[in-house]
């Protein structure tokens, strides 16, 4: 008999009913199932979130570089778990059509193909080969989180537990970011874990007189983008809180995350939050939109009083973008980047083979889309974009099928979060940063799980 991996389908435990249940009845029925094993997929993904948020991204297993963070190593375990569960009947892993699973496997196959083509069609240096190997390890970890989440989360209430825990962890992260901004106290400097070494990071801590914050992230941009992806989820739980006390706590978390995000002084983060806000506001009534706009204006006014000059600095990030040294450096690198793309337009020079070589002055590219086009060609770029397009459309598909307002709002929220993360791939080298990569993987896995659960409900209700 196959061992129980804690993935037993929830549908089998549902009591059949004579009439088609309403949306509220379905959610009550799902929430009443409390027979989950003590350790399930949500427990493992919670551990992944803890490792990703609490352990500084700079701390890695030395030989693996950026792919050797504790969270990434857990992702490899998840991939092995998923492969085993797919091969052994009766483990309860979800079967059947799953768009998120399909698109992430296509992306991985394209990356592997470009790696093989690079090894067989051109001379690959030792440095390039080592970097590519580390990139493939990181890709395997990414796949593990996506696949185990999409096929392994079996219940709505457990999915919501995971997201609540993620928001709570992020609120703590944002709080320590505010502490770092005001006092220059960096908690990450005091985190020492035997067996882990500090990976090289990028220094960029001062902008227009303000000290930028990163806490456990390896860079302020990574920190800001991560907060931007969690921000819509925090908004969702704040709006859906039932008791006044719960509402106060959740809105306090939203405020802390918003303040810390602004203090990261990241264009990528601000752009992501702006796009996410538009998406989550689409289903809202005009009254809620106007009230929200008033709250935003009050928030900006309070921030001007708390930190004079911060709002103006954020505004100047966009109004004076052409004067920014990072923007100017990116413009200088663009012609060189397009030469690389033109040389190998379809499959590129090989996944993970672009090194920070001073000979070419390409890294940091500050544009993950162009970097992907260089390494994996237009085919790989299309596969990367498909990850985000399918993730966004899958979340929207879950919203269309959902029978109750809470699930519909959650699906819209996840669509906003994945959009916020995807926009950052145009503004910085997102795949270089483990916290952003891990959050994208977690979002895709949750979106796939929500889509499948909504589809199961639609099938059971017919």
The answer to whether residue 208 scores a pLDDT higher than 80 is no
Confidence at residue 319, expressed as pLDDT on a 0 to 100 scale:
87
Q: Average the pLDDT over 247-274 and give the result.
A: 95
Which percentage of the chain shows pLDDT scores above 70?
88
pLDDT tens per residue, range 288-318: 999 999 999 999 999 989 888 898 888 888 8
Confidence at residue 83, expressed as pLDDT on a 0 to 100 scale:
94
Residue 20 tokens read as 């088609």
Compare 329 and 247 and report the one with higher pLDDT.
Answer: 247
Q: How many CA atoms lie within 13 A of 238 on its CB side?
A: 20
Nearest CA to 329 out of 362, 370, 373 is that of 362
The answer to whether residue 178 scores a pLDDT higher than 50 is yes
The answer to whether residue 346 scores a pLDDT higher than 50 is yes
Confidence at residue 16, expressed as pLDDT on a 0 to 100 scale:
36
Nearest CA to 381 out of 396, 394, 370 is that of 370
**In the chain, where are the structural domains located?**
37-461
Q: Which pLDDT band holds residue 372 (cuts at 50, 70, 90)?
A: very high
Cα separation of 462 and 460, whole Å?
A: 6
- The answer to whether the beta carbons of residues 69 and 60 sit under 8 Å apart is yes
The answer to whether residue 393 scores a pLDDT higher than 90 is yes
SS3 content of the chain, % helix, strand, coil (to 5): 70, 0, 25
Confidence at residue 326, expressed as pLDDT on a 0 to 100 scale:
79
Instruction: Give the global pTM.
Output: 0.90
pLDDT tens per residue, range 120-176: 999 999 989 999 999 999 999 999 999 999 999 999 999 999 999 999 999 999 999
CA distances (Å), 19 to each of 22, 24, 146, in order? 9, 14, 36
Q: Which pLDDT band holds residue 347 (cuts at 50, 70, 90)?
A: very high
Confidence at residue 330, expressed as pLDDT on a 0 to 100 scale:
84
pLDDT tens per residue, range 93-129: 888 899 999 999 999 999 999 999 999 999 999 989 9
Confidence at residue 359, expressed as pLDDT on a 0 to 100 scale:
61
DSSP labels, 52-83: HHHS-TTEE-GGGGGGGSHHHHHHHHHHHHHH
Across the chain, what does the average pLDDT equal?
88
Confidence at residue 460, expressed as pLDDT on a 0 to 100 scale:
58
DSSP-assigned letter for residue 209: T
């Amino acid at each position: 008999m196959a061992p129980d991996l804690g993935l037993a389908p929830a549908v089998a435990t549902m009591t059949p009913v004579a009439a088609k249940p309403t949306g509220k009845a379905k959610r009550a029925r799902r929430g009443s199932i409390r027979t989950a094993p003590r350790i399930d997929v949500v427990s493992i993904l919670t551990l992944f979130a803890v490792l990703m948020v609490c352990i500084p991204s700079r701390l890695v297993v030395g030989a693996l570089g950026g792919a050797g963070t504790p969270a990434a190593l857990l992702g490899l375990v998840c991939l092995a778990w998923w492969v085993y569960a797919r091969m052994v009947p009766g483990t309860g892993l979800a079967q059947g059509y799953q768009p998120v699973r399909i698109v992430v496997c296509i992306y991985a196959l394209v990356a592997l193909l470009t790696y093989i083509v690079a090894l067989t069609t051109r001379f690959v240096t030792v440095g390039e080969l080592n970097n590519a190997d580390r990139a493939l390890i990181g890709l395997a970890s990414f796949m593990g989180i996506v696949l185990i989440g999409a096929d392994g989360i079996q219940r709505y209430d457990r999915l919501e537990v995971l997201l609540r825990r993620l928001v709570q962890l992020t609120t703590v992260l944002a709080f320590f970011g505010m502490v770092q901004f005001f006092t220059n106290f960096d908690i990450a400097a005091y985190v020492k874990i035997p067996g882990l070494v500090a990976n090289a990071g990028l220094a960029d801590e001062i902008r227009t007189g303000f000290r930028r914050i990163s806490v456990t992230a390896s860079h302020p941009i990574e920190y800001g983008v991560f907060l931007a992806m969690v921000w819509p989820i925090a908004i969702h739980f704040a709006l859906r809180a039932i008791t006044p006390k719960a509402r106060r706590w959740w809105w306090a978390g939203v405020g802390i995350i918003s303040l810390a995000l602004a203090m990261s002084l990241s264009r990528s983060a601000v752009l992501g939050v702006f796009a996410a806000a538009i998406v989550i506001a689409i289903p809202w009534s005009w009254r809620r939109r106007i009230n929200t706009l008033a709250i935003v204006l009050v928030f900006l006014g309070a921030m001007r009083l708390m930190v004079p000059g911060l709002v103006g600095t954020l505004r100047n990030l966009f109004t004076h973008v052409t004067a920014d040294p990072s923007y100017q450096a990116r413009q200088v690198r663009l012609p060189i980047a397009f030469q690389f793309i033109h040389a190998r337009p379809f499959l590129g020079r090989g996944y993970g083979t672009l090194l920070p070589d001073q000979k070419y002055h390409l890294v940091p590219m500050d544009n993950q889309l162009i970097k992907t086009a260089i390494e994996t060609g237009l085919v790989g770029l299309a596969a990367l974009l498909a990850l985000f397009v399918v993730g966004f459309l899958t979340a929207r598909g879950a919203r269309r099928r959902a029978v109750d307002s809470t699930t519909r709002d959650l699906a819209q929220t996840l669509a906003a979060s994945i959009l916020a993360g995807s926009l950052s791939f145009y503004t910085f080298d997102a795949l270089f940063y483990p916290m952003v990569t891990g959050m994208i993987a977690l979002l895709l896995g949750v979106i796939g799980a929500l889509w499948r659960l909504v589809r199961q409900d639609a099938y059971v209700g017919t």
